[in-house]
Amino acid sequence: MKKIISTVFVFSFLYSAFAIKSNSVLIVTAEKEITDTIPFVIDEDELSDYSDSLVSFPAYDLYCNWDTVHTHSAKFDIADLKDDVKEIALYDESSCGYVHPFSGNVTSGFGPRRKRFHYGADIDLETGDAVGAAFDGKVRIAKTSKSYGNVIVIRHNNGLETYYAHLSKMNVEVGDEVFAGQIIGLGGNTGKSRGSHLHFEVRYLGHPIDPTEIISFTEHKLVTDTLCVSKKTFDYIVEAKKAASKNKAGSKARVHVVKKGDTLSAIARKYHTTTKAISKKNGIKTTSKLRVGQRIRL
Ligand SMILES: [Zn+2]
């Protein structure tokens, strides 16, 4: 009997020890689980909102982000296009199609403009004129920027993004679903703008596309149902880069103001020229002593 009691005792001791141990293991696991999951704990209602919104970010697979801070989406590397031609459907039966944002004259189109490249089409309007969304989509940006002024960027399901800049008023907020033709704001003259107009841009994965490739600004309708994006679509970038470097070279000070310690040879090296060329241009000897503040033509 004694033996039985002691055996039971030993077993019950072992069991309780094991139970405590198991229990403590469970607690630890549970605590670990709780700790690990805290950042992701979302109540049921939120969860459904969250997963709904993730699914409903337009072209999320393409962009892998939904950036509501930076006006421009990160630019994809055009080299990745290789020789591919990507067909982007501009119209599907479930959408409201295309509605021209504002029926005004184009005062400046896509392309090189003076010293810079103009990445959109400027449509003439009066401040207060209603501006509509071109396609159905979701508002990614609705903010005030230095250059664009009040700007709205809408991302569309096909991956295109449309920009509406210099607005006097914005009627939509980030995350709003909009339909083609919905009045998203009023035209204006905010940001870097000379006179009221709508600066309208079409971009794909961060890169501007000539909007006339898809839109007739005289007939206010699409010129195609499908946009074919290939390397050729972005040929203008080479042109834009050339214009930018030319502009940089052109705007580079052609006069150097002498600072303390400057020598003619150092100046020549800096501007990729020779002391001989500088001396000739400025009517000075190559050995002339420079004075601080002296203007050297290059
Ligand atoms: Zn513009």
Mean pLDDT of 244-264: 76
Distance 191 CA to ligand 1 centre (A): 11
Give me the residues near ligand 1 (ion), CB cutoff below 5 Å: 120, 122, 199
Asked if residues 150 and 168 have their Cβ atoms less than 8 Å apart, the reply is: yes
Q: What is the pLDDT of residue 250?
A: 58
The residue ranges of every structural domain in the chain are 2-40, 88-246, 255-297
Distance 232 CA to ligand 1 centre (A): 23
Average pLDDT, rounded, for the chain: 81
Distance 6 CA to ligand 1 centre (A): 93
CA distance 152 to 132: 11
> Which residues, other chains included, contact 36 with Cβ-Cβ below 8 Å and sequence gap of 6+?
none
Distance 118 CA to ligand 1 centre (A): 6
CATH of the domain spanning 255-297, picked from 1.10.357.10, 3.40.50.300, 3.10.350.10, 3.30.56.10:
3.10.350.10
Mean pLDDT of 128-146: 97
Distance 148 CA to ligand 1 centre (A): 9
Distance 90 CA to ligand 1 centre (A): 23
Distance 23 CA to ligand 1 centre (A): 68
Mean pLDDT of 8-25: 41
What architecture is domain 88-246?
Answer: Distorted Sandwich (2.70)
Whether residue 293 is predicted with pLDDT greater than 50 in this model: the reply is yes
Distance 145 CA to ligand 1 centre (A): 14
Whether residue 173 is predicted with pLDDT greater than 60 in this model: the reply is yes
Q: What is the pLDDT of residue 184?
A: 98
CA distance 294 to 283: 13
Per-residue pLDDT reduced to its tens digit, 190-245 = 999 999 999 999 999 999 999 999 999 999 999 999 999 998 899 888 878 877 77
Distance 246 CA to ligand 1 centre (A): 21
CA–CA distance from 261 to each of 266, 277, 278, 292 (Å)? 9, 20, 17, 8
Q: What is the pLDDT of residue 276?
A: 87
Q: What is the pLDDT of residue 19?
A: 40
**DSSP class of residue 223?**
S
Distance 101 CA to ligand 1 centre (A): 14
Per-residue pLDDT reduced to its tens digit, 105-128 = 999 999 988 778 899 999 999 999
Distance 124 CA to ligand 1 centre (A): 10
Distance 244 CA to ligand 1 centre (A): 17
CA distance 131 to 4: 91
Whether residue 35 is predicted with pLDDT greater than 80 in this model: the reply is no
Whether residue 31 is predicted with pLDDT greater than 60 in this model: the reply is no
Whether residue 27 is predicted with pLDDT greater than 50 in this model: the reply is no
Please tell me which residue, 15 or 250, carries the higher pLDDT value. Answer: 250
Whether residue 54 is predicted with pLDDT greater than 80 in this model: the reply is no
Q: What is the pLDDT of residue 114?
A: 74
Distance 243 CA to ligand 1 centre (A): 17
Whether residue 143 is predicted with pLDDT greater than 70 in this model: the reply is yes
Q: Does the pTM exceed 0.85? A: no
Q: What is the pLDDT of residue 48?
A: 43
- Per CATH, 88-246 and 255-297 having the same topology is answered no
**DSSP class of residue 93?**
T
